[in-house]
């Protein structure tokens, strides 16, 4: 975050949103603790973890004032306004519901939950004028998505013909002792990375009406999908495809092919590591290459700032139906791939 001066969100009037952390996974510093230093209307005041020693170490390293013995104890803390849930995927639905019923706003790591039937549990905890809920798909909080959507809708380069996406991030230490290598906890690459693909398509094209398919050999640890391919076919003939993998060389990119140009975004996760410039590269048929550049931003800082503004009534929340639509598709594509493998 060495370019912090490039982004300084204005602080709303009033007290900061006070966060409690549930789960001390490795993503917590990058997704919340470090971004909170740049979002003045946020403060992390409490932490809880199954292993108390991890919570105590995180509290010491990041100056968190209160360590709770259990997540349930944290939810009873009147000094906590919102919780950040960083548990394994199979625990998301339960703790979202419990937190919201306790009157806490919720920022939860993606995916929102694992299975379609869990959506009912979450929805039952939602109330009009009640606590806010945001699924942490951090890439949606960057203007490059709006720019691409505009290129599509205003036909800047003619009709969009295809979208190719690669989300390949080699597993560090094979995700040993990590829920990502345990199917029963929602492990595998598609549940970890596929949500980004679906959010990307949802924003640019919508998901309704498309026919989705998925394939994997499920030959990763414990029978997890270590490489997963999925395709979407739209009624107008447009095709979109994604390659997700924990074993192939690093490559995270989107390539959009139009009638008159190819637009690409390389290293599309770069801004989750700090304040970086993102660039859309444009190759026009018979023309000189061009590009659309964005000032240095950090995905997680943008996300945290947006969430705090939702809590303070300064921003419009993301409708629950958007996350629900993605989860239904994520689960459906995953299950269809499993069934086809068995056959």
pLDDT at position 128 over 60: yes
For residues 326 and 337, give the distance between their C-alpha atoms in angstroms, rounded to a whole number. 16
**Exposed e or buried b per residue across 110-128, where buried means at least 16 C-beta atoms within 10 angstroms of its C-beta:** bbbbbbeebbeebeebeee
- H/E element holding 303? helix 299-311
| pLDDT score at 287 | 82
pLDDT for residue 10 is more than 90: no
77-91, 139-153, 175-189: range with lowest mean pLDDT: 175-189
Q: What angle do CA 302, 303, 304 make, to 5 degrees?
A: 95
CATH classification code of 140-300+317-342? 3.30.360.10
Distance of CA 263 to the CA centre of its chain: 23
pTM score: 0.93
Residues assigned a catalytic role: 110
Does domain 4-138 sit in CATH 3.40.640.10? no
Predicted pLDDT of residue 124: 95
What is the per-residue pLDDT across 70-107, written as a single tens digit (0 to 9) for each? Answer: 999 999 999 999 999 999 999 999 999 999 999 999 99
Whether pLDDT at 11 is above 90: no
Domain residue spans of the chain = 4-138, 140-300+317-342
pLDDT value of position 13: 52
pLDDT band at 7 (very low <50, low <70, confident <90, very high): very low
């Amino acid at each position: 975050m060495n370019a912090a001066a490039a982004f300084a969100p204005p602080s709303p009037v009033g007290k900061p949103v006070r966060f409690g952390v549930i789960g001390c996974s490795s993503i917590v510093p990058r997704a919340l603790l470090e971004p909170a230093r740049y979002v003045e209307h946020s403060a992390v005041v409490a932490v809880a973890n199954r292993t108390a020693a991890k919570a105590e170490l995180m509290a010491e390293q990041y100056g968190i004032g209160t360590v709770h013995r259990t997540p349930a104890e944290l939810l009873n803390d009147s000094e906590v306004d919102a919780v950040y849930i960083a548990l394994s995927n199979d625990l998301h639905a339960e703790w979202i519901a419990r937190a919201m019923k306790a009157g806490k706003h919720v920022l939860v790591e993606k995916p929102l939950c694992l299975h379609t039937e869990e959506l009912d549990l979450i929805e039952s905890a939602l109330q009009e004028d009640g606590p806010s809920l945001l699924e942490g798909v951090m890439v949606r909080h960057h203007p490059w998505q709006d720019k691409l959507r505009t290129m599509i809708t205003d036909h800047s380069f003619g009709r969009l013909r295809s979208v190719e996406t690669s989300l390949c991030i080699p597993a560090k230490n094979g995700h040993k002792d990590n829920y990502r290598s345990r199917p029963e906890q929602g492990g595998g690459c598609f549940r970890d990375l596929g949500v980004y693909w679906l959010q990307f398509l949802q924003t640019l094209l919508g998901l309704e009406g498309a026919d989705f398919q998925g394939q994997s050999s499920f030959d990763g640890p414990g029978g997890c999908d270590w490489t997963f391919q999925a395709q979407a076919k739209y009624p107008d003939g447009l095709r979109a495809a994604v390659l997700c993998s924990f074993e192939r060389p690093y490559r995270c990119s989107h390539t959009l092919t139009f009638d008159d140009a190819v637009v690409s975004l390389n290293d599309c996760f770069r801004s989750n590591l700090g304040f970086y410039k993102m660039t859309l590269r444009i190759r026009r048929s018979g023309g000189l290459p061009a590009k659309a550049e964005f000032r240095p931003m950090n995905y997680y800082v943008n996300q945290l700032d947006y969430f705090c503004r939702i809590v303070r009534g300064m921003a419009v929340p993301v409708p629950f139906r958007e996350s629900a639509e993605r989860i239904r598709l994520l689960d459906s594509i995953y299950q269809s791939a499993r069934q086809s493998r068995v056959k």
